[in-house]
Structure 1
Amino acid sequence: MGKFLALLLLACAAGGGALMYYQQVYAYYDEVEPNGETDVQITSMITDAPELVLYDDFRAIDATSSPIRYRACFNTSMSHAMLTETYVLDDGAVPLTAPGWFDCFDAREIGAAIEVGEALAFTGTENIEYGIDRVVAIHEDGRGWVWDQLNRCGEIVFDGNRAPDDCPEPPEGY
C-alpha cells in the first residue's frame, strides 16, 4: 500500500508540474493580428506622441494574465541614423523573456545587441497601461522587437507604495 501511495503522490506532483509549465508557457498566450495602425509605434521627438513606423513581417503574442506579456517581432527598412534623428531613445530598456516557442524574440540576444550598440531602444508608448511602457528596439540590420515593461512609476505603485508627485495618478484599485 505504501508503494502505491508513493507512486500516486509522484504521479500527482509530475502532473501538476506539467500543467503549471503548460499554463506558464502556452495556455494564456494568443497571437496578435496586426492592425497596421498601432503595431509598431515610436514616440516622436517633435510631437512627443507615438507614431507608426514602417514595418513588415510582423508577429506578436500577448496574454491577458499579465500586462507585461506582450512581445512582437518585425522588420523595418528605417536606418539607425534616421531613427535617432526622429524618435525618442529609451535608456532604461531591458527586454523581457518570451516563451521559447516564440523564436523570433530572444531577450538575451536583444539585450546584448542593445548593450553593444548594434540595436537601439526607443520609447514606443508611455503608459500604454498605467505604469507600463511599450518599448521598441531596432537592430542595425532592420530586425525589430517590441515589448512592454514596467516604468519607474509602475514599479513604485505595484510595490504597494504611493505614487510620487511626478507620476500620473494611478487608477482606482492600484
Structure 2
Amino acid sequence: MYWLQVYAYYDTLPETTVLRATTETGVEPLSLSEFEGIDATSSPLRFRACALLADPGELSHALPAAKPEPLTGPSWFSCFDAAAIGADLQSGAAKALLSEREIHLGVDRILAVYPDGRVFAWHQLNGTLEN
C-alpha cells in the first residue's frame, strides 16, 4: 500500500507544461526553463512543479496568493522542499503568487517565486467548498 501511495499514482509532466500567473487583466503564461513536474489523477492536490523563470520581472503584475501553504510531496521528487519553501515565504525570501484560481473545483494553483528566478508550484484548497 505504501508503494502505491508514494509512487504508483504519480505521472511525470512534460517539459512543455505551461505555468501561468494571474494578473488583474487575466491569466498569463510564464516563460520557463528546467521544468520538472508531477501530478496524479487520483487527487488534484498531488501537483508539484519546479522551474526557472526566463524573466522574473514578468511577474511584477501577478496577484498575491492568500494563505500559501506548500504541501509536502513525495520524497523522490527532490526539487520541491515544502518546508523550505514555506519558511522562505514566511521570511520574505520568496513571494507567493496566484497562478490559477479554481484549477480544479475548490483548488487553486499557487506559485512561490524567488528573486533569482526559481519558481515552485503546488495546488491547495481555497475554501470555496467549505460549509
Shift of 1:95: 0.4
Shift of 1:78: 2.8
Question: Mind listing any 5+ residue stretches in structure 1 that lack a counterpart?
Answer: 1-19, 162-174
Matching of residue 99 in structure 1 with residue 74 in structure 2: yes
Matching of residue 33 in structure 1 with residue 23 in structure 2: no
Q: Which has the higher strand share?
A: 2
What is the number of equivalent residue pairs in this alignment?
131
Q: State the superposition RMSD in angstroms.
A: 1.4
- Identity percentage over the alignment? 41
SS of structure 2 residue aligned to 1:86: coil
- Check the 8 A contact 2:30/2:58 in 1, yes or no: no
**Equivalence for 2:127:** 152
Matching of residue 63 in structure 1 with residue 40 in structure 2: yes
**Equivalence for 1:122:** 97
Shift of 1:53: 1.4
- Check the 8 A contact 1:40/1:136 in 2, yes or no: no
SS of structure 2 residue aligned to 1:146: strand
Matching of residue 43 in structure 1 with residue 18 in structure 2: no
Q: Distance in 1 between matches of 2:44 and 2:114?
A: 25
Shift of 1:82: 5.5
- In the TM superposition, structure 1's runs of 4+ consecutive aligned residues that sit over 2 Å from their partners are none
User: CA deviation digits over 1:12-38, x for unaligned, max 9?
Assistant: xxxxxxxx21011101001011335xx
TM-score (norm 2): 0.93
Question: Mind listing any 5+ residue stretches in structure 2 that lack a counterpart?
Answer: none
User: CA deviation digits over 1:73-114, x for unaligned, max 9?
Assistant: 0011433x663x311011311100110000000000100111
